[in-house]
Each structure stands twice: as structure tokens, then as C-alpha cells.
Structure 1
């Protein structure tokens, strides 16, 4: 029931945001921030459709019902959604950093037909997810002859630990470090622009420039905070489950924390 509610909430909320952006697009050109939010919604929808929905069906049927290629495809798309969600926020933060700290560079590339950070984010997500196609497959369940499930077998005892740790580093830790560095540089630049001696403009003009910058920065910061609050518990629980043999895998708090990343 909880998974079903979460799937409906995530799907509807992202569709509503995309609908609002589409209506805004009919009235004029999207701002760069709106483009990033649109692609972030698509990444979140990928998480809902390929992570939450298959898990919901899996819980109902107990075993994965489908051919081997579908098993591999689902596992691949699950990871694409996770990578894209993280890398899209990183790309959005990098774009805000360039617009605020390197405005001339941002202006020079402002008329480009394709948004390079978004293209890079999707490309890396598709590439980094490729190992899923070879790790997971339809395999016979241990102690249940003839019963197949979409699963992976890792080298004991370090295989699963290495896999989960690598995913945590690439999906959360590395992007979070890049996001944090960009945010620090952005706030330093805004703080410097508030000082007339540094910016070279009067107090009134400097305040107007900083207010315009701060509007999108605040929006980005809210998205980043929600991202960290949802993903950090998820990966902490994942790492706990593989590094601690006594982890309470079936406890309600444990399961709830695992589901936070789907929000």
C-alpha cells in the first residue's frame, strides 16, 4: 500500500510540474532553470516508472514475471533513473555557477541549440548504467529448483559490498561533493556582489543584481536540500545493510528509509 501511494504521488506531482512548464512554454521561451526542472521531472518519473512500479509488481507476484531481456532492461532503466536524478541536479547547479560566477561565458553559450550540461547528464547516466545489463539476469533461485527470478550473484564476501559502495559513490557522494563545491562558490560570488567595493557598482544596483541571482539560487538550494534529505538516508541504509550482517533489513524504519529515494 505504501509503495502504491508513493508511486501515485511521485507520478502525479511530476506530471503536474511538467504540465505547468508546458503551459508556460506556450506563452514564451523557457528560462534555463525551467529546462533543468523539466528534465529533472523526467528523471524522477523514470525512477517512479522503473524503480517503484516494478518493485510494486514484484511484491504482488513474489517473483519477477518476464523474460530475461525484460529483467535486464528493468534493472538498467532503474539505474538510469537514479543516475539521471542525481546528475541533473549537479548539471543544474553547475549551470547556476556558470551563470553567476562566469556570466560572460554563460552569455556566449546562451544561444546554443542544445543544453550541454543536460546532454552530458543523460549520456553519463546511460553509460554508467550499462553494467546492470551484465550483472542482473533471470537466474534459478537457490533451494527452489525450476524457480527463476531477476537477480544477481556476487563474489562472496566482498562482491555485493563493492557493488553497493560503488553505486553510492557514483550516484550520491560524487555528485553531492560537486554540488556542495558549486554552492559554496555561488554564495561567495553573491556575497562579493553585495559589497560596492568589490562589485564596482552602487549599493542600489548591486542589491538588484544580487536579488536577481538569489531567486534562482534559492530554488536550486531547495532542490539540493530535498535531494540530500531523500538520498542520504537511502544510501546510508544500503551501505549499512551490506556492511553489517546484523542490520534489521525487515524493520519498518529500515524499509521507510529505503523508500525515501523514490520521492
Structure 2
């Protein structure tokens, strides 16, 4: 299927851009596998909604969050919330109703928003990786980090909207002939099957391949730099003995470990889902040899990524619960000028974790 549209419903034997003959087509039903998918997605929705909202509140009120890291974590939580409140409820409702009842306009809009949410989440992880790359390899540029991150985040949101915009034109509601069944699909939008395959591959590259390559390059360079500094620190030169604490402070290393695990969770959760999609694009007959529950299970496993980010952040940020409790009770008292200057100095010196 195309992400969140054609493939999901072709998996359920509904429709693709090339509809089989009517005599071979049967109206899909709410199968036991789909029922299990709805139950699991509902549980994920509840957990992801509560945890990501808590993360958003904690980061917005947290005092120990570096100013240039705050918008990064807030953007990641916002992208996860888009996935939570758009993708998951729509998937649950669509599996229950089986066919589409929302009309043509809502079909186009929601398919756009679903791809936009996925694209934004992937690009924000790229921005976080680039920020960690600059923090480790170019620590003297930390004063410009906040301005640089805001520009990269803006670019990430704009590119995500542009890449997802074709969804507004290729998706439409189609009613099956001689059958009371309407679906939101891409039927009629592609003249040849390879056109649809090329479109799907383009989104696979922008959603997964390019972000994975950029993140891999960033963290490979970071690990090489860390290994170089550790090697130099063992030479015995006094000027390099302080590299572990001054060039890469503990707080910065902690943030680095957190972001690496966040990226790994994205790769682990979504890789099986994308691989299944590639298999379908080039061999549609794979639907006949793979059980239905496999497709549902991989989709659920991909959505698990939205629950991982707040858990990882909470594990690596001791002040997470304290910041959340303070925001819940009341607004934090204003800081005096001296405290504010001290906090800014500490932020520049040690780059506290997000």
C-alpha cells in the first residue's frame, strides 16, 4: 500500500490503483486480525497521548533544558502528538467502518495530514542529529545553536508539508460498481502501475532512506570524534587530559546517548513496515502468501515509536517528573537576574540534557 492509504486497504483486499474485476472482488469485513489491531492501537493511543503531552509540558516548563534543545524536543513531541491524534484514531475508525464515510474532502485532507505527520517526525530526528553533530564536532558554535536549530526546524516543517501535498490530489473517494461500498484510494490517479510504484518509492526515500543516511553520517562522525579525543587523552599530554570533561561534558554525552537511542527506536520500529511495503510494491502477489495479521502487527509495531520517545527522554532526564510536577502545581517563580545569568553560563559550559 502507499503509506496510510493504498497499501493499508490493498492489504485488506479493498482497492488499489488497478481494481480487479468485480467477480474477483469481495467486500472486506472487520476481521479478527483487524479487531486485534484496533484494540492494540487504542491502547497505544492512550499511552502515547498521555506520555507525549507530559513530555511537552515538562520540556516547556523545565529549567534545566538548554534553550537551543528545547524547541527540538518540543517539535519531536508535537510530531508524535500529530501521529497520535491523527493517524491512530483514523486507523481505528477506518478499520471499524471498513469503508470510507468521510467524503472526498476529508479523504484528501486526512491522507495529507497522515503523511505530513510521518514526514515531520523523520525530519525532526534529522535536525536533532545535526544539532548533536555540531555540539560535539563544533562546540565553539554553541552560541549560534538556537538560531540555527530554529531555521532547520522551520525548514523541516515546510519540506514535510510540500512533500505530503500531492496527497491532496491523488487520493479521492471511489464507489465500487454494483456494490454499496465507498473507499478513499488513489484509483485513477496513476495511468501505469510503475507510476504508482515510483511515487511510493519517492516517499520511501524521503521518509526513511535519506533521514537514515543523514543520521548515520552524523553519529558516525560523532563516534569517530569521541574515539579520537579518548585516544588523545591517553597520550599523556596534560593539555589533553581535560578533554573528557571540558570538550565533551558529561551532560552533553548524556544527551548524545539519549538522541542515539531515540534514532535507533525509529529505525527498529519502522524498518519492518517499510520492507514489507517494498515487497508489496514490486510483488503485489505477496498478499496471498503472507498472513493478514503480519501486516497489522508491523503497523502496530511502527506506531510503537510514538511511545518510545517520551520513555527514553524520561529515563535520561532525572528532572522530568520534577518539572512536570512543578508545572502541574503552578507556574515556576521568576528567576532573579543573578540566577538567570548563572543558568545561561552553565548552559553554555555544559550543554545540559534536554
1:76-121 C-alpha deviation (Å, 9 max, x unpaired): 00011010010000000001111211223332x2353971121111
Aligned to 1:151: 185
Q: What pairs with 1:1-263 in structure 2 (closer than 5 Å)?
A: 1-24=39-62, 27=63, 30-107=66-143, 109-110=144-145, 112=147, 115-141=150-176, 143-145=177-179, 147-153=181-187, 154-194=190-230, 195-196=232-233, 201-203=239-241, 205-209=242-246, 210-212=248-250, 213-248=252-287, 250-263=291-304
Contact 2:76 2:124 in 1 (8 A): yes
Contact 1:94 1:182 in 2 (8 A): yes
Q: 1:144, 1:174 → 2: CA distance?
A: 44
- Closer/same/farther in 2, CA of residues 105 and 199 from structure 1, 3 Å limit: farther
Q: 1:112, 1:240 → 2: CA distance?
A: 42
Between 1:109-118 and 1:215-224, the stretch displaced more is: 109-118
TM-fit CA distance, 1:30: 4.3
**Equivalent residue pairs, number:** 258
TM-fit CA distance, 1:144: 4.2
- Closer/same/farther in 2, CA of residues 232 and 103 from structure 1, 3 Å limit: same
Q: 2:178, 2:66 → 1: CA distance?
A: 55
Q: Aligned to 1:138, what secondary structure does the other structure show?
A: strand
TM-fit CA distance, 1:260: 2.2
Q: 2:195, 2:237 → 1: CA distance?
A: 53
Contact 1:67 1:138 in 2 (8 A): yes
TM-fit CA distance, 1:256: 0.7
When the two chains are superposed, the root-mean-square deviation of aligned CA atoms in Å is 2.3
Q: 1:184, 1:19 → 2: CA distance?
A: 32
- Closer/same/farther in 2, CA of residues 144 and 120 from structure 1, 3 Å limit: farther
Q: Aligned to 1:47, what secondary structure does the other structure show?
A: helix
Structure 2 unmatched ranges of 5 or more: 1-38, 305-354
**TM-score, normalised on structure 1?**
0.89
Q: 1:111, 1:157 → 2: CA distance?
A: 45
1:147-181 C-alpha deviation (Å, 9 max, x unpaired): 43211123343233222222111100111000000
Q: 1:183, 1:51 → 2: CA distance?
A: 30
**TM-score, normalised on structure 2?**
0.67
Q: 2:82, 2:236 → 1: CA distance?
A: 44
- Closer/same/farther in 2, CA of residues 9 and 250 from structure 1, 3 Å limit: farther
- Closer/same/farther in 2, CA of residues 192 and 200 from structure 1, 3 Å limit: farther
Structure 1 unmatched ranges of 5 or more: none
Q: 2:237, 2:104 → 1: CA distance?
A: 61
